[in-house]
C-alpha cells in the first residue's frame, strides 16, 4: 500500500471558549492510503490538551509504516500494536476502513455490523459567551432543527453559567440540554450547582470535576440529581472499566480511545452496567467526524458537531446542519472533498509518500 499526508488549517466560524481555553483554529493532517487504485482517507487534528501539533502528527503517521502491509485487513490487524497515540491509530484505522469499504462497495457501518443507513440527532455546542449571544444561538439552532444543545460551563463566576443556561432554556424551551464544565468545579461546587441546573431542565452533565480522580467522580455520580458523564476521566478502555457502573455515562471520542474498534470494545464493556455511551468528538472536518457517525446508532447521546463549528468544512457527506448527522449509504466513510478552491486557501503543505 502507498500513503501520503496533507496538512491543512481548519478555522472556526467563531472562537470557542471553554473553561480551560479558547480555540480559534486547529491543524488537521489528512492521511490518504492507496491500494489497487482505491484510496481511503483519515484525519487527525492537533490538540494542545493531548500534546499533538501538526509536525508531531506527521512524524507519527510516518512511523506506522503502512507500506509494509499487502492490504487493509493485514494493516488493521497489526494496528493495535502500533506504538503511536490513539489519535493516530484512529485516523489510520479510518483510512483503512474507508479503503476496505470502497473496495468492497459497502459503507463502513456495514463493516461494523449495522446493515442499514441511519441518522441521529447531534448536540450542538454553545461555548462560554455572552448571555445575549447564547440566547440568539439557541433560537437559531432550534429554528434549524436542533433537538440537543450542549452548553459549556466553568466561568470564573458560576452564576454566569447558571444564567447562560437559563437564557438558553428560555430561548429554546423544547431542546434537550447537556452541560459541560470540562472539569472546572470542585466536588463542593458541583454539589451546590447541579441541583440548580437540574431545576432548569439540564439532562446530564459531562466531567464536572477535574480529571484524575475517578473515585471522586463516581462518588459524585451516585448522589447527583443529574446523570454524570465521564469525559476526560474516560480516555481508554481501562479507564472505562474502572468507571463502568459508577457513572451514568462515558463520552467516547475516537481520537482519545483509539478508533471505532476500541469504541466498540467500550460499548460492549459497559453494556448492562448502568453506564451509557456518549459519542463525542474534537473540532474537525466531516472526514474526521465520519467514523464516529458510523457508530452513532449505538449511543444514547451523540455530540458530533465538530465540523459544524468550522468556517469552512473541506469535506462533506455526514450532514448535521439540520441537527442530524447521517450515514449516506455510499461505500466507505461516504465523505468527499467539498469545493476544491475553498480547500486550497486553507492548505498548509503536503507530504508525499510518507509511509
Q: Active site residue: 2, 102, 223, 253, which one?
A: 253
Contact 12, 307 (CB under 8 A): no
* Residue 92: closest CA among 39, 48, 32: 32
Cβ 180 vs Cβ 205: under 8 Å: yes
Provide the pairing of β-strand 315-316 with 38-45: unpaired
223 is catalytic: no
- The residues, any chain, with a CB within 8 Å of residue 234's CB and separated by 6 or more, are 240, 243, 250, 251, 252
- Eight-class DSSP state of 200: T
- Residue 70 C-alpha cell reads as 499487502
Is 256 designated active site?
no
Sign of CA dihedral 197, 198, 204, 207: positive
Q: Shortest CA distance to 289 belongs to which of 230, 344, 335? A: 335
Active-site pick, 102, 150, 152, 256: 152
Residues in CB range of 224: below 8 A, 6 or more apart: 190, 194, 205
List, in sequence order, every residue forming a beta bridge with 301; answer none if it has no partner: 278
The whole-angstrom separation of Cα 281 and Cα 320 is 14
Residues 6+ apart with CB under 8 A from 126: 134, 137, 138, 141, 149, 150, 151, 152, 164, 168
DSSP result, 72-125 = HHHHHHHGGG-SS-HHHHHHHHHHHHHHHHHHHT-BHHHHTT--S--EEE-EEE
3-state secondary structure of 192: helix
Q: Please list the active-site residues.
A: 152, 253
Amino acid at each position: 500500500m502507498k500513503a501520503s499526508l496533507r496538512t491543512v488549517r481548519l478555522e472556526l466560524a467563531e472562537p470557542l471558549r471553554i473553561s480551560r481555553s479558547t480555540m480559534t483554529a486547529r491543524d488537521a493532517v489528512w492521511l490518504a492510503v492507496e491500494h489497487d487504485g482505491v484510496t481511503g482517507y483519515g484525519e487527525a487534528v492537533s490538540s494542545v490538551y493531548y500534546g499533538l501539533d501538526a509536525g508531531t502528527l506527521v512524524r507519527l503517521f510516518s512511523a506506522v509504516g503502512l507500506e509494509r502491509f499487502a492490504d487493509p485487513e493485514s494493516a488493521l490487524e497489526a494496528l493495535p500494536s502500533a506504538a503511536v497515540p490513539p489519535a493516530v491509530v484512529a485516523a489510520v484505522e479510518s483510512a483503512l476502513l474507508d479503503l476496505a469499504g470502497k473496495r468492497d462497495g459497502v459503507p463502513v457501518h456495514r463493516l461494523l455490523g449495522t446493515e442499514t443507513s441511519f441518522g441521529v440527532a447531534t448536540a450542538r455546542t454553545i461555548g462560554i459567551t455572552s448571555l445575549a449571544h447564547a440566547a440568539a444561538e439557541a433560537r437559531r439552532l432550534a429554528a434549524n432543527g436542533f433537538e440537543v444543545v450542549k452548553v459549556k460551563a466553568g466561568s470564573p463566576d458560576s452564576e454566569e453559567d447558571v444564567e447562560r443556561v437559563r437564557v438558553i432554556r428560555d430561548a429554546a424551551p423544547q431542546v434537550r440540554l447537556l452541560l459541560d464544565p470540562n472539569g472546572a468545579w470542585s466536588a463542593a461546587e458541583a454539589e451546590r450547582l447541579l441541583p440548580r441546573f437540574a431545576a432548569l431542565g439540564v439532562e446530564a452533565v459531562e466531567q464536572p470535576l477535574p480529571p484524575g480522580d475517578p473515585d471522586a467522580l463516581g462518588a459524585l455520580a451516585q448522589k447527583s440529581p443529574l446523570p454524570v458523564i465521564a469525559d476526560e476521566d474516560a480516555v481508554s478502555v481501562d479507564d472505562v472499566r474502572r468507571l463502568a457502573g459508577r457513572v451514568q455515562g462515558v463520552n467516547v471520542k475516537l481520537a482519545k480511545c483509539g478508533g471505532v474498534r476500541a469504541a466498540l470494545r467500550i460499548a460492549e464493556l459497559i453494556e448492562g452496567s448502568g453506564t451509557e455511551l456518549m459519542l463525542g468528538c474534537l473540532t474537525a472536518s466531516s472526514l474526521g467526524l465520519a467514523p464516529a457517525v458510523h457508530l452513532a446508532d449505538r449511543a444514547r447521546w451523540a455530540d458530533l458537531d465538530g465540523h459544524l463549528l468550522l468556517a469552512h468544512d473541506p469535506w462533506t457527506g455526514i450532514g448535521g446542519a439540520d441537527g442530524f448527522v447521517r450515514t449516506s449509504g455510499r461505500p466507505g466513510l461516504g465523505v468527499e472533498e467539498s469545493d476544491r478552491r475553498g480547500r486550497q486557501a486553507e492548505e498548509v503543505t503536503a507530504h508525499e509518500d510518507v509511509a
